Amino acid sequence: MEDSTASKDSRGKSFKRIRVRFARDLEVDFTGRISAIERVIKWGEEGMSQPVVVFDPEGCGKSTWLRQTIEILKGMGYKAIYVNPTETSLVRFAYDEDLGEVVREAFKSVMGEAVPIAGVPVGRLAELAFEIVAMAVRRLSRTRIDVLVDEAFKAVGIRNASLYVKSALNVMEHPKGGYDKLVAILTTSEGLSRSEVGRHRWADLVPMWNMSREDFRELYNKIPGEKPSFEEIWEWAGGNLWILRELYEARWNVEEVVEKLIDGKRLDSFVRSLSSNDRRRLEKAIEDPDTLFNREGMPVLNRLVELNLAVDDIPSRKPSRWIDRPPPKKDLNIGIGEYVAWQTPLHREALKRALKQIKT
């Protein structure tokens, strides 16, 4: 990843758009998300009083947004700690050079000896983030620090999600030392973790959605070569970057991507585990996901959320409640209801195919 073009937000604030690897053979500039960038700049100017937990459809591009966030805050004088326990490369734990000694001391103190980062279990790696921040606060007073933890709840476990957020809040509320400003952002695609974290008031839960139609078109235009029309791709992906990447790498073979979803999510097993009544409820939800937002449909909906196939209880569409632009109030063409939405149109299609296979 490297610096790319300079841009400005709606207030004229300058920032650099990073260069990101979109697919195996394609790099592009970070695209769109201007509202999300403006939110980051505001956090950088004001700091935070409690952590922010961002939840979103799987594959909407939040990891790329977090890396763009590092670049923005770096330009505002922040020293960064970035943790992604799901990564297998060295990027899973990165930090500002000025924090190098602090990080090494923290590892030695917590682990009991000098242990290479690559040798630390991913769950412990995530837990270390805020211990390192606490030590940095003690050592580097009046410093601006941002800590960004991507998909931490997968590593520490859903049951520990609330306590993990509380550890972040403790550093912010009771620092042993002092800091100028601190920004702490944690992200999750796990539907269940949102409920666990939401049980307490230890963080501000803020949703993010797939890319808006305008931003998605901008990214579509950056993809070279022959490709289906924008309208066709929009109806497959609904603004989801992971689906777009999968389609591109599959040379736009939709059948291949759908089969990959069916196998990866074990949808045949899921559908066969349902009662005949629940299958009928699921068939209705293919056309309108809101039909599950009731007492009878809730057990099926909960399982869809657990499998990261759907998003339930979508918050108000007020833009101030969202990291970037909210989804439309309802757009059944791409599987968005007023209260429930499919993660992407192809997630919906994969379930539709799995249901059909049982009948044949």
pTM of the model: 0.85
Residues 83 and 125 in one domain: yes
Instruction: Give residues with Cβ within 8 angstroms of 190, minimum separation 6.
Output: 151, 153, 154, 158, 308
Distance CA 338, CA 340 (A): 6
Residues 236 and 198 in one domain: no
pLDDT at 334: 97
Q: Decide which of 173, 207, 241 is a domain's last residue.
A: 207
Q: Give all strands (DSSP E) within the chain, no chain letters.
A: 2-8, 14-23, 26-29, 52-55, 79-83, 93-95, 144-150, 181-188, 204-207, 310-311, 341-342
pLDDT at 241: 95
Q: Decide which of 152, 187, 207 is a domain's last residue.
A: 207
Residues 140 and 246 in one domain: no
Number of separate domains in the chain: 2
pLDDT at 2: 44
On the CB side of 227, CA atoms within 13 Å amount to 20
Residue type at position 262: I
Residues 49 and 144 in one domain: yes
On the CB side of 17, CA atoms within 13 Å amount to 16
Q: Decide which of 207, 233, 261 is a domain's last residue.
A: 207
pLDDT at 223: 96
Q: What is the pLDDT of residues 25-55, one digit of tens each?
A: 899 999 999 999 999 999 999 998 888 988 8
Q: What is the pLDDT of residues 268-293, one digit of tens each?
A: 999 999 999 999 999 999 999 999 99
Residues 321 and 239 in one domain: yes
* CATH code assigned at 72: 3.40.50.300
pLDDT at 192: 58
Q: What is the pLDDT of residues 121-135, one digit of tens each?
A: 666 666 677 777 777
Within the chain, which residues score under 50 in pLDDT?
1-3, 89-91
- Residue 258's domain comprises 213-359
